[in-house]
Amino acid sequence: MMNRWHVLKRLMPLLAGMVLLLSACGRADLSTLRPQGPVAEEQFGLMKLSITIMILVVIVVFAIALYVIIRFRRRPGDKTVPVQVEGNHKLEIIWTVIPIILLIILGVPTIKTVFNLAEDYTKDPNAVQVKVTAHQYWWEFEYPTYGIKTAQELLIPNDAIISVEAKTADVLHSFWIPSLAGKVDTNPGGNVNIMYFEAPNTGVYLGKCAELCGPSHSLMDFKVKVVDRASFERWVAAQKSPVALPSDPEIAEVLTTQCLSCHAVGANGGQLYPNLTGMGSRESVAGILINTDQPQYENEGSVEDNLKKWIKDPQAVKPGTLMPQVPLSDQQLDAIAKYLADLKLNY
Ligand code: CUA
């Protein structure tokens, strides 16, 4: 007996340390455990409720089990056969009724939340409507009300409900902004799933693809940029204003033939692949190369360096991407990266 207590006592600091460590983990821009909006808040509430119930059950069951194991253990020299029990009405009713009560306590708020979160805002004129299309391995965001299409960065105002209609262009993906709202799958076959969320705090939040969709699934990140209403209106206007092609005719020609056959810059170019308008103002290139002036990690760099890295060898950055390796001279690559990095939006 003494030995076992000893072991447990020695484990205590370790367990306490783990609890501390785990409670400290969770970034406000990435964690469901640090909700940043009412929808995430509601979902977190359900998690807390179910975990609390589970912990209570575990504690009670373990306490009873331990008590029985210790109190009724076979003592040295005891050769008697214990009393044989067959059924106990009182106990059976208790351990049937308690789980039913627990399930009701858990079930009522769960069902209420499920219906709350299924609310359809797609016809609500006060909500910001966004059509999300998942592609291997990037996200397209269309704002039908404003006639805007963009990629990898969902810019939204902090004072409205964001109503999402999500679909996929290829395989199964899942749209997830952990600290703002829980996932919605994008299913092949023309199916459209809806969800909504609100983000009252301005800032940048991380979005993820939450469904294994190919070799670059884990790199299928996006950002949600929450700004105030005035900035949002300025962004909408900036997105729609005309963009000039490079002044050097050779570079303009290369850009038009090599890039704008698929991508759009302002009103120029194709719509099938990520829209590059305002590239220089984005948080990342290809969703995964983080734009920063003080790079610390391998996937960080200036917008220009990240663009060069991406254009030069897309497969090295995102295996399986449909972005082809474009035949460009070093000089052309520099000029195109510079041009795209200079495409900034003021908002
Ligand atoms: Cu898309 Cu995982």
pLDDT at res. 23: 63
Q: What digits encode the pLDDT tens for the residues 143-198?
A: 999 999 999 999 999 999 999 999 999 999 999 999 999 899 999 998 999 999 99
Residues 322-344 have a mean pLDDT of 94
The confidence score (pLDDT) of residue 22 equals 66
Atom of ligand 1 nearest to the CA of 134: 1
Q: What's the pLDDT at 103?
A: 96
188: CA distance to ligand 1 center in Å?
A: 13
Average pLDDT of the segment spanning 207-211: 96
Interval between CA 139 and ligand 1 midpoint (Å): 10
Q: Is the CB of residue 213 below 6 angstroms from any atom belonging to ligand 1? A: yes
Do residues 225 and 128 lie in contact, with contact meaning Cβ atoms separated by under 8 Å?
A: no
- Number of neighbours of residue 228 by Cβ within 10 angstroms: 12
pLDDT at position 124:
96
37-62 average pLDDT score: 95
| pLDDT computed for residue 18 by the predictor | 74
Q: What percent of the chain has pLDDT over 70?
A: 97
Q: Is the CB of 286 under 6 A from ligand 1?
A: no
Ligand 1 centroid to Cα of residue 166, in Å, is 13
| Averaged pLDDT for residues 49-55 | 95
Ligand 1 centroid – CA 249 distance (Å): 39
Which atom of ligand 1 sits closest to the CA of residue 210?
2
For the Cβ of 303 lying below 6 angstroms from any atom of ligand 1, the answer is: no
Predicted confidence (pLDDT) at residue 63 exceeds the cutoff of 80 = yes
Give me the pLDDT at residue 204, please. Answer: 96
Task: Please state whether 35 falls in left (phi above 0), alpha (psi between -120 and 50) or beta.
Answer: beta
Q: What are the domain boundaries of the chain?
A: 128-231, 249-341
Calculate mean pLDDT across residues 18-36.
Answer: 79
- Classify domain 249-341 by CATH number: 2.60.40.420
Pick the atom of ligand 1 nearest to 212's CA.
2
Q: Answer with the residue of higher pLDDT: 260 or 26.
A: 260
% of the chain residues with pLDDT over 90: 81
**C-beta of 318 in contact with ligand 1 (< 6 A):** no
Nearest CA to ligand 1 atom 1: 173
- pLDDT on residue 66: 97
Pick among 3.40.350.10, 2.60.40.420, 3.50.50.60, 3.90.1640.10: CATH of 128-231: 2.60.40.420
Which atom of ligand 1 lies at the shortest distance from residue 214's CA?
2
pLDDT in tens, 211-260: 999 999 999 999 999 999 999 999 999 999 989 999 999 999 999 999 99
User: What is the pLDDT at residue 227?
Assistant: 97
- Would you state the pLDDT for residue 27? 82
Q: Do domains 128-231 and 249-341 have the same CATH topology?
A: yes
